[in-house]
DNA sequence: ATAACATATGAATACTTGTTCATATGTTCA
DNA sequence: TGAACATATGAACAAGTATTCATATGTTAT
């Protein structure tokens, strides 16, 4: 976590400029944690499904053919990241996207991977 | 990786609709892998730095106060994801962002975390 | 060619994380 | 109240990953 490299190529102007621009540890950490939430196939699928329609835990489990427990764990992660929201109707809990950024981030991601192929 | 949940709440219409919309394993995997690349503080910092100016490996190491090796490993990941590009000038290798999606994804991410605070 | 240097890479380790299994919480209806 | 059900949660294990250390590759100048 320390020890600067010892090259002579270092352009001190660029380095000081870079240090000025550099994200704080907190911002970089928060941002990385946000993207990390997108960084799992199951969660990406869930987010994409929820971008189409509201669904309950059980529905999602059936669509993805995964256990209720696995889905519930993932929904908790998504909720902590404020990417999804839920409403309770009796026993069942319905989930929706919480945020417009989700649409944009998903769209840009899809654009990127299709552009790269 | 199997076993559907056995609720009765299942709305068959929504489930079949969901299955129709569901991403393929490949797309979800590629997309998740892309976001995973953004899901590390070091890489986020590097991407953000490169969104300001072109930098060589050594410069980046100095700005982040990390070893040349660590940075080089991360740059390889970024390059494989087609997020950065490099040009060689003698011994030194300069890196730049490869793609406009990077800007947008970073911006949306920043918007999201600042909106959430 | 050789020395000096900038970057890349491989193996190893410590750490994180997604799923499963078992069980807890909370809600509805009889 | 109690049974049935939908969801949530905790512990544990397997699989993936970021950094370090040592070293390899490739470039420049003498």
Q: Is residue B4 part of a domain?
A: no
B63-76 pLDDT, tens per residue?
A: 999 999 999 999 99
How far apart, in Å, are the Cα atoms of B50 and each of A19, B17, B37, B55, B102?
12, 42, 15, 7, 10
CA A36 to C1' C16 (Å) is: 11
Averaged pLDDT for residues A31-50: 96
Q: Is residue A99 part of a domain?
A: yes
Range of the domain at A39: 12-116
Q: Is residue A1 part of a domain?
A: no
For chain A, the domain total comes to 1
| CB pair distance less than 8 Å for B39 and A29 | no
Q: How far apart are CA B52 and CA A107, in angstroms?
A: 24
pLDDT recorded at residue A6: 53
pLDDT recorded at residue A13: 83
pLDDT recorded at residue B2: 32
Residue A107 has pLDDT above 80, yes or no: yes
Closest CA to A68 of B17, B22, B7: B7
The reply to whether the CB atom of residue B75 sits less than 7 A from any atom in nucleic acid chain C is: yes
Q: Is residue A41 part of a domain?
A: yes
The reply to whether the CB atom of residue A67 sits less than 7 A from any atom in nucleic acid chain C is: yes
Q: What is the CATH number of the domain that holds A30?
A: 1.10.10.10
- Residue-averaged pLDDT of chain A: 89
Q: Is residue A6 part of a domain?
A: no
pLDDT recorded at residue A8: 56
Token pair 């660029």 in the structure block, residue: A14
Residues of chain B with pLDDT under 50: 1-3
């Amino acid at each position: 976590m320390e020890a600067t490299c010892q090259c002579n190529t270092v352009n001190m102007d660029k380095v000081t400029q870079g240090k000025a621009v550099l994200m704080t540890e907190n911002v970089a950490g928060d941002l990385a944690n946000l993207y990390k939430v997108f960084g799992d196939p199951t969660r990406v699928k869930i987010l994409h499904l929820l971008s189409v329609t509201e669904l309950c835990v059980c529905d999602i489990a059936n669509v993805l053919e995964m256990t209720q427990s696995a889905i519930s764990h993932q929904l908790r992660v998504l909720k902590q990241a404020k990417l999804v929201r839920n409403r309770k109707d009796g026993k069942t809990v319905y989930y929706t996207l919480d945020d417009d950024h989700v649409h944009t981030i998903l769209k840009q991601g899809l654009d990127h991977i299709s552009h790269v192929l």
